[in-house]
Amino acid sequence: MIAEYAESPVCRVDEMADGELREVRVEDTDVLLARANGQFYALHPKCSHYEGPLAKGVLHGNRLICPWHNACFDVRNGQRLESPALNGLTTHEVRIENEQVFVRLTSNVPSRENPLVAPEEENPETFVIIGSGGAGAFAAEALREGGFTGKIVMLTESGEAPYDRPNCSKEYLQGKAPDEWMPLRTDEFYADYGIEIRTGQHVTSLDPAAKRIGLASGDTLTYTKALVCSGGKPNVLPVPGAELEGVYPLRTLHDSQKLRELGKQGKRVVIIGSSFIGLEGAMSLRKLGSEVDVVGLEKVPFEKILGEKIGRVMQGWHEKEGIRFHLGRKVDQFKGNGSVNAVVLDNGEKLPADFVLVGLGVKPRTDFLKDIALEKDGGVKTDGFLQIAEGLYAAGDIAHYPTDDGLQRIEHWKVAGLQGHVAGLNMAGNEEPYRSVPFFWTNQQGKRINYVGHATKIDDIIYDGDPENDDNFLALYVQDNQIKAAAGLKRDQDIIAIRELMQEGRMPSVEDARKGVEWVKELTV
């Protein structure tokens, strides 16, 4: 128990500049000290998501941004501003005496919830959330954060309440994350805030005119407002033998559990797909002891997203761990008698397989929507506030949302969480446009690549550092003579700065960027 009077001098006023972050000690407790707009603030020093070291992040105005996964907090009060963090940060008292900064510990609890209202029985409105992924989880809390006191019902096909889906291809699949890490919140949390989660519910129809939802059970549910964040359905490979036992996707907690048990047995696995999920799955199953072969259409992994040079480097990371690649190849068929035992490629090569992981992306799950126009890929078009019809909103993998470059649809956890949060606030009566620049991360053989922005094609790449020879690098992706995206290894602060500059419309020209990347230091010093 920390005594209320625990206090220490931590620095002099003139020792820290605006925008500076510093980890200090108050007796035996680590504290993050920050200076923003001339004011000093003291907070818990670790991100509430995965305990990233916030002193290595960036302070931009009042926005405190974690270096690992770009969770964002308000430095003034510790409140969480952006996913993937759910909780805010504990704050401590700061006082200044004789130009000396003192910090007084006020709590030994590292994180705290954003202020949420409690449900009220007299409120007759019912808001329904279809989906329990990142968008649904953050939307439910945003409704209470935005002041909605009516009934909240979350419908999910899953047998679980919202959980940490990105971990399904990483530590959890590797057996390094226990089951208790996976739920985003406790059952008590949802009960306390009146968020009713109905698991095992398959939605068969949604009529926006009648505001009625049909379920496979035959039940119907009417709503005042609804959010569709039903996510995606894993793409299947339309080849002979695709229905064989032992051919699995990697999308859900159950998928990860099944693959983990197989991986522990040291079996032979063939992975179809050489992008992020496929190679995170390859990494994790290899760590469990499986023999791993990866089949991909691209001649180089990630070539369309990260470019050939970085793709080859990342392929090399996996090959050093014993993963074999078969690139520029298609699957001709899966062989087996009841259960898969081999994968035959289009060149006739036959790869032995005790099981197969198909990681070929997802298709938006929207087939239950009535009288809602779908985009070519099955997604839905939203307005700038993520609304698709009167009282009906969309977020996450299914949402095509407007940007200065036209409609975008992004499949990533942080984006889904951000959209769910904004949609929830808007359903509660706010009018907040969704304008966040996309960000995602991937873990490839213990190396975290962070990516910000969105490029549909790569005209050129500007490098700071050499991916083939350096242990850190920054890549700027040029499309139509503008920098549309960036990726970095061990360049966390630079990636944060680029995202902040993109959101403010202050990115440099391509010509200036070619002269050097000193401009990214504008937000990091």
- Residue-wise pLDDT for 457-500, tens only, equals 999 999 999 999 999 999 999 999 999 999 999 999 999 999 99
Residue 2 covered by a domain: no
Average pLDDT in the chain:
96
- Residue-wise pLDDT for 385-438, tens only, equals 999 999 999 999 999 999 999 999 999 999 999 999 999 999 999 999 999 999
72-82: average pLDDT:
98
DSSP E strands in 98-168: the ranges are 100-104, 111-112, 126-130, 151-155
At 24, the pLDDT band (50, 70, 90 cuts) reads: very high
Whole-model pTM: value is 0.96
**263 and 353 inside one domain:** yes
The CA-CA-CA angle for residues 467, 323, 265, to 5°, reads 140
Place of tokens 């935005």: 146
CATH number of residue 19's parent domain: 2.102.10.10
At 340, is the secondary structure helix, strand, or coil? strand
CA atoms within 13 A on the CB side of 283: 25
Residue 221 covered by a domain: yes
Provide the 10 A C-beta neighbour count for residue 230: 29
Distance CA 523, CA 495 (A): 11
46-56: average pLDDT:
97
| Residues whose CB falls within 8 Å of the CB of residue 411, separated by 6 or more in sequence, listed in order | 232, 361, 362, 397
At 320, is the secondary structure helix, strand, or coil? helix
Residues of the domain holding 452: 446-523
220-237: average pLDDT:
97
Residue 525 has pLDDT above 60, yes or no: no
124-136: average pLDDT:
98
Tokens representing residue 52 in the block: 């990233």
Residue 173 covered by a domain: yes
Which of 52, 82, 112 terminates a domain? The answer is 112
Question: Which residues share a beta bridge with 453?
Answer: 485
Q: Which of 406, 363, 365 is nearest to 384 (CA)?
A: 406
> Are the beta carbons of 146 and 429 closer than 8 angstroms?
yes
145-150: average pLDDT:
98
- Calculate what percentage of the chain has a pLDDT beyond 70: 99
Place of tokens 């202050």: 506
- Residue-wise pLDDT for 168-183, tens only, equals 999 999 999 999 999 9
Which of 427, 456, 474 terminates a domain? The answer is 427
Residue 1 has pLDDT above 50, yes or no: no
Question: Which residues share a beta bridge with 196?
Answer: 153
**256 and 340 inside one domain:** yes
Residue 4 has pLDDT above 80, yes or no: no
Residue 327 covered by a domain: yes
- Calculate what percentage of the chain has a pLDDT beyond 90: 96
pLDDT at 5: 67
Residue 522 has pLDDT above 80, yes or no: no
Structural domain count, the chain: 4
> Are the beta carbons of 2 and 108 closer than 8 angstroms?
yes
Place of tokens 């696995």: 269
**276 and 371 inside one domain:** no
Pairing of strands 63-65, 447-453: unpaired
pLDDT at 108: 84
At 287, is the secondary structure helix, strand, or coil? helix
Which of 427, 462, 481 terminates a domain? The answer is 427
**464 and 497 inside one domain:** yes
Tokens representing residue 48 in the block: 């509430």
Residue 242 covered by a domain: no
Burial classification of residue 64, based on how many CB atoms lie within 10 Å of its CB (0-12 exposed, 13-18 middle, 19 or more buried)? buried
Q: Which of 140, 138, 161, 159 is nearest to 151 (CA)?
A: 140
Tokens representing residue 501 in the block: 């500059």
Residue 436 covered by a domain: no
> Are the beta carbons of 306 and 325 closer than 8 angstroms?
no
The values of phi and psi at residue 96, to 5°, are -120, 130
**216 and 265 inside one domain:** no
Distance CA 32, CA 24 (A): 6
CA atoms within 13 A on the CB side of 236: 10
Residue 439 covered by a domain: no
DSSP E strands in 83-235: the ranges are 88-89, 91-97, 100-104, 111-112, 126-130, 151-155, 195-198, 203-207, 212-215, 220-222, 225-228, 232-234
**105 and 23 inside one domain:** yes
> Are the beta carbons of 66 and 96 closer than 8 angstroms?
no
**356 and 373 inside one domain:** no
The values of phi and psi at residue 46, to 5°, are -115, 140
**14 and 79 inside one domain:** yes
> Are the beta carbons of 296 and 380 closer than 8 angstroms?
no
Distance CA 224, CA 510 (A): 48
- Residue-wise pLDDT for 150-173, tens only, equals 999 999 999 999 999 999 999 999
Q: Fill in the DSSP letter of residue 273.
A: -
Q: Fill in the DSSP letter of residue 11.
A: E
**281 and 137 inside one domain:** no
At 523, the pLDDT band (50, 70, 90 cuts) reads: confident
Residue 2 has pLDDT above 90, yes or no: no
Fill in the amino acid letter for 167: N
28-41: average pLDDT:
96
Percentages (nearest 5) of helix, strand, coil residues in the chain: 20, 35, 45
Residue 45 covered by a domain: yes
CATH number of residue 312's parent domain: 3.50.50.60
Distance CA 395, CA 418 (A): 9
**68 and 140 inside one domain:** no
CA atoms within 13 A on the CB side of 266: 0
Fill in the amino acid letter for 283: M
**328 and 376 inside one domain:** no
Q: Which of 69, 87, 81 is nearest to 422 (CA)?
A: 81
**227 and 375 inside one domain:** yes
- Residue-wise pLDDT for 242-278, tens only, equals 999 999 999 999 999 999 999 999 999 999 999 999 9
Fill in the amino acid letter for 348: G
